[in-house]
C-alpha cells in the first residue's frame, strides 16, 4: 500500500477543507450578523477547529511514513516556517471563537439577537489576519517541495 500517497491525499483534502471553512466563516462574519446565523457560525467554527486538528493528525504521520526521510523536515526552514504559520493561524482563531461562543450564549432564545458592531469588526480583523497568514502555508509548502529551506 502506498502510504505516502494516501497520507498526502488526506492531508491535501483536509487543508482544502480548512480553506473552504475559513472562506465560509469570512463570509458569515459581517455587519448584520444575527439570529440563527450565529449558531450556524459557531458550528462552522467548531468544524474549522476540528479540521485544523485533522490537518495535524494526518500531517504528522506524513513526516514519518512519507517518501521523504524525516530528517529532511527537521532541518528545513521552510517546514518550520509552515509550522509557525499554522501555529499563528491557530492562535488568531482564538479571539473570534471566544466571541462566537459569547454571542451564542447572549442570543440564546432570542431570534433577533445581533452582536455589537464593534465585536463583529474585531472578529473580522482577526479573520483577515488569518488570511494573511494562511497564504504563507502553501508558499512554504511549495518551497519545501522544491528543496528550498534545507
pLDDT above 80: residue 130: yes
Looking at residue 128, its pLDDT comes to 97
Decide if pLDDT at 2 tops 90. Answer: no
Which residues neighbour 55 within 8 Å (Cβ) at sequence distance 6 or greater? 11, 14, 15, 18, 86
pLDDT of 50 above 90: yes
Indicate whether 122 belongs to any domain.
yes
What is the overall mean pLDDT for the chain? 94
- Our count of domains for the chain comes to 1
SS3 for 18-80 is HHHHHHHHHHHCCCCCCCHHHHHHHHHHHHHHHHHHHHHHHHHHHHHHCCCCHHHHHCCHHHH
User: Is 150 inside any structural domain?
Assistant: no
Whole-structure pTM value: 0.90
End-to-end CA separation in angstroms for the chain: 29
pLDDT for residue 108: 85
Q: Is the pLDDT of residue 42 over 80?
A: yes
Percent of the chain at pLDDT > 90 equals 85
Q: Is residue 74, in this structure, part of any structural domain at all?
A: yes
Distance CA 25, CA 76 (A): 32
- The owner of cell 462574519 is 29
**Which structural domain range is residue 81 located in?**
3-27+34-108+116-145
In a domain, 93, yes or no: yes
Burial environment of residue 129 by CB neighbours within 10 A (0 to 12, 13 to 18, 19 or more): middle
Q: What is the pLDDT of residues 23-33, one digit of tens each?
A: 999 999 999 99
In the structure, what pLDDT confidence band is assigned to residue 100 with cuts at 50, 70 and 90?
very high
Amino acid at each position: 500500500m502506498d502510504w505516502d500517497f494516501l497520507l498526502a491525499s488526506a492531508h491535501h483534502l483536509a487543508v482544502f477543507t480548512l480553506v473552504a471553512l475559513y472562506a465560509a466563516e469570512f463570509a458569515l462574519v459581517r455587519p448584520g450578523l444575527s439570529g440563527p446565523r450565529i449558531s450556524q457560525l459557531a458550528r462552522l467554527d467548531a468544524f474549522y477547529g476540528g479540521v485544523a486538528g485533522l490537518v495535524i493528525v494526518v500531517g504528522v504521520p506524513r513526516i514519518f511514513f512519507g517518501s521523504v526521510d524525516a530528517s529532511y523536515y527537521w532541518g528545513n526552514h521552510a517546514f518550520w516556517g509552515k509550522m509557525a504559520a499554522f501555529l499563528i493561524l491557530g492562535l488568531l482563531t482564538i479571539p473570534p471563537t471566544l466571541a462566537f461562543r459569547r454571542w451564542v450564549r447572549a442570543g440564546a432564545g432570542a431570534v433577533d439577537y445581533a452582536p455589537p458592531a464593534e465585536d463583529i469588526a474585531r472578529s473580522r480583523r482577526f479573520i483577515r489576519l488569518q488570511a494573511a497568514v494562511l497564504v504563507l502555508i502553501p508558499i512554504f509548502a511549495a518551497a519545501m517541495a522544491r528543496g528550498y529551506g534545507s
